[in-house]
Chain A
Amino acid sequence: MSPPLLDIQDLQVDFHTPEGIARAVDGVSLAVLKGETVGLVGESGCGKSVTSLAILGLIPSPPGKISAGRTLFEDRNLLAIGPQALRRLRGKEISMIFQEPMTSLNPVLPIGRQVAEPLMVHRNLPRSAAMEQAADYLERVKIPSARKRLNDYPHQLSGGMRQRVMIAMAMICGPKLLIADEPTTALDVTIQAQILSLMMALKEESRMSMLLITHDLGVVAQTADRVLVMYAGEVVEAAPVTDLFDHPFHPYTQGLLRSMPRLGGHDRGRRLKEIPGTVPPSTETLVGCKFADRCPDAFDRCRKEKPEPAGIDRDHWARCWLFEFPKKRGVHG
């Protein structure tokens, strides 16, 4: 098996806050193989976005600090190569799409310029040639009459169209890895369907890998090959997508899947299964499992000792004392 394209090991990110040090990411390990789509799911504040920002060195520092870990991209440790080298990588080999296309596009630059910019920076193309390719790419992401709109500003486009521009910008240099942080959360459901199908089609064409960050289990089920579930800064379960939905092991994953109303399901009018309580604040240092207080199955050991990842089978593991297996695997997701 070829080595993973991206291999994050024991990543730890701290934020200095007035309330103390908040550990937003607490020992996350994850790998993305070539051509694979990995879904990173979890609720707000679980550290999924911080993980993705840390990969590209985009954590604002201060107050943030990557306090431990390695991020191998091919054979380079992204945490060690320095800002210059990272800048040469961003937008060329690793690109990112953000949730809110209005705030992540430059409001005072025409969209054609913004899409052409990566080509001018990374490929040293002259502006006219870059603009020509930008126009082609905007057609590929199905912006209607793209050539006429090169000089439009972001505010003249709808939310869905802006996200298409973002995608064009991220993909135009043919990156090996695309990190998409809640790419469709701000969009209406019919537009979300358009954008997801566009992203998956482009990904197939270019054999790119994708790290998809979302809180929406429906989006993950429809797009990912493998899924990692995060809770309070930790990955609590990792599995191939069908295993995760068919046999969720961690009580938190089970809770998430059960608490969600399903369209066309037979649960109408019945009570939804709740996960009681709320996420513990990340400034708190907890002994034992971080989910123990909300877990219906917690027992003594859960409150005393922190569970290590235990393998259910080769690709499926969970961080839970209920599933302690004789053969413990490494943390690799």
Chain B
Amino acid sequence: MGDRTLLQVTGLVKSFPLGGGFLKKPSGWVRAVDGVSFTVARGESFGLVGESGCGKTTLGRLILRLMEPTSGRVTFDGKDIFAMPRTELLQLRRRMQIIFQDPYSSLDPRMKVEAIVTEPLRATSNRTRSQRRRVAAEILEKVGLRAGDLDKYPHEFSGGQRQRIGVARALCVRPDLIVADEPVSALDVSIQAQVINLLGDLQEEMELAYVFISHDLSVVEHVCDRIAVMYLGSIMELAPTVEFIRQPRHPYTEALLKAVPFPDPHRRSEPVLLEGDVPSPVDPPTGCPFHPRCAYCFDRCRREKPSSEEIEPDHWTACWLNSGRGLEGEQT
């Protein structure tokens, strides 16, 4: 990808202390993100899927340095975001923004739409109030609201419209990257389609890159160019969307895809059930995090954690089944 690379995440780890408190040692650590690496190109949609508690939201926050990592690196346009001073970070934030899941709790009910949408501008530029208002009006039109909405409060809008306000807030600084954390999960299906289409149109128009976090595989398939699936803090598989959906190579991806209830009564399949629950990240299994639920598990899976290998061009898995069968194997 070369200079098309916008975001590079390398060996990112985030641990949270368990228990403990003031003057008290934590009783243990949870590795919410456990050594994650990937890149996102300019203008690309990168999907991050996984079940609750897999660490996808924490990862999204780390990418924007909304929290500090335990170890690892994130570079944005070649610059290490964890090494830079606060003033520089603030300038960089103009180029990376976030959209949250819940359009109700992510907008301050006491702020007018104008103040909400222009807040990132106030923080990062020294434009005058009227200039900011003009930018905000322009952006509102772009996301399908009206300039007249600037003087309203969030409660005057429906859920879908609120999510448009959230999108407008992220866009008003003309960012290069948007982390969208479950942006349509709280919306009904007819409204969901409106917001997905809007995100797609804006991407084309403004050459945006998305890190699109979602638990909904059909939405991610629709939106994204590449998909990574996380399980207990690690990426299990990463591949271009068509390959990911049609030829998944990790048993977890396979199980996840088969569990989605297909909206066709003629295709009632007895799903291949994944037994049991996701293990607690407080006490993760040894070896491969997926092995207790995996149908193909063998000895090595219980002992050693597989690292991510490129098994086909741009297709990575962390699974002993695929290990050594990949590109390196073919080359030698």
Contacts and interface: CB of A to CB of B under 8 A. Distances in A.
A278 B194 CA distance: 11
B190 A193 contact: no
Nearest to B45: A269
Contact of A260 (B161, B217, B263): B263
A259 interface: yes
Interface string B258-271: 11111111101011
A19 interface: no
Contacts of A263: 217-218, 221, 245, 257, 260, 262
A260 to B, nearest CB: 5
A268 B263 contact: no
A323 interface: no
A264 B245 CA distance: 6
A34 interface: no
B221 A261 contact: yes
B193 A274 contact: yes
Contacts of A269: 200, 222
Contacts of B262: 218, 221-222, 262-263
B277 A191 contact: yes
A190 interface: yes
A193 B262 CA distance: 11
Contact of A242 (B222, B246, B265, B278): B265
Given A43-B189, A43-B190, A242-B266, A193 B196 contact: no
Question: Which of B158, B241, B261 lies at the interface centre, i.e. has the most chain A CB atoms within 10 A of its CB?
Answer: B261
B51 A262 contact: no
B190 A257 contact: no
B200 to A, nearest CB: 7
A283 interface: no
A19 B295 CA distance: 56
Contacts of B275: 194
B7 to A, nearest CB: 21
A271 interface: yes
A272 B187 CA distance: 15
B67 interface: no
Contacts of B265: 221-222, 224, 241-242, 245
Interface in A246-279: 255-257, 259-265, 267-269, 271-276, 278
Nearest to A196: B261
A224 B277 CA distance: 26
Contacts of A272: 193, 196-197, 222
B259 A189 contact: yes
Contacts of A44: 188
A161 B277 contact: yes
B15 interface: no
12 contacts: A160-B277, A188-B52, A221-B264, A242-B265, A245-B264, A255-B190, A263-B262, A264-B245, A264-B246, A271-B197, A272-B193, A272-B197
Please name the 10 residue pairs, one residue from A and one from B, whose CB atoms are nearest each other, closest first.
A218-B261, A259-B193, A261-B222, A275-B190, A43-B188, A188-B51, A272-B193, A193-B259, A263-B218, A190-B274
